Amino acid sequence: MTVNSQETWLVTGAASGIGAAVVKAVRQAGHQVLALDVNDTAGQGLASETGAMYRHCNVADPADWEALGQFLTSNDNPIGIPDRVHLNAGVQITGAQAPLSEFKFGAMTLERYRRLMGVNVDGVVFGLQALLPLMKSGAVIVVTASLAGITPYGVDPLYAMSKHAVVGLVRSLGPDLRKRGINIHAICPGGIDTPLVPEAQKGPNIPFMTPEHIADEVMTLMDESETGKTWAKVSQTKPLFIVRAPGDKG
């Protein structure tokens, strides 16, 4: 895919999975990218491998976003204000190695809940709050949601709740951002082979998409003229399609 050589990207949750694949794809296309994560070892390794810029950022912490905004508007920022933003950071209610019983609502602890909502919801809200005042007409935002944001997901109901919230936010912001010339999309993939997915869900006969394939789809959405839409991706062999909200006729 050919994209404008002047694009400057910002990617959250960039140290692994979809985020790392997007950073690599963007750098391979010759564009600048600021990679954000809390895993400094992996993030710095990615930066060394790709030539991306890495910065520590806890997306659940508004102070980290405030510091990022100050950096982006300072003379210390060598790449400028991002015009392509991928708010991608996400977690499930517990670690991938846990048995599926630990993902159920009844196994919730306050610590797990706060972490889930902090990354999946606050990370999008605080990110938009910090970045939107800096972004200009022509900018595009892609938020990583999930098929669990538009369908039930009994394995991890609270994860599904958080992704439904993200979908609702993107749909609701779309019209106002369009007035500013900024497009926003929610990409909702099904199963992807990343460290996020519970190991107990994986098996030899269960097809999972690759992070690299989703990265290609994220780059495609940066050129999409629609806005405020929910883009479902159910398998690697089927194209993205819009799941419209009630009342959205086109």
* Residues involved in catalysis: 159
CA 231 to mean position of chain CA atoms = 13
In sequence order, the 6+-apart residues with CB closer than 8 A to the CB of 128 are 87, 141, 173
Which helix or strand (DSSP H or E) is residue 143 part of?
A: strand 140-144
SS3 201: helix
Token output for 103: 């993902």
Distance CA 217, CA 85 (A): 14
Tokens of 85: 């933003």
**DSSP code at position 183:** E
Are residues 10 and 84 in contact, defined by beta-carbon separation less than 8 angstroms? yes
Q: Residue 215: how many CA atoms within 13 Å on its side-chain side?
A: 23
DSSP 244: P
What does DSSP assign to residue 199?
G
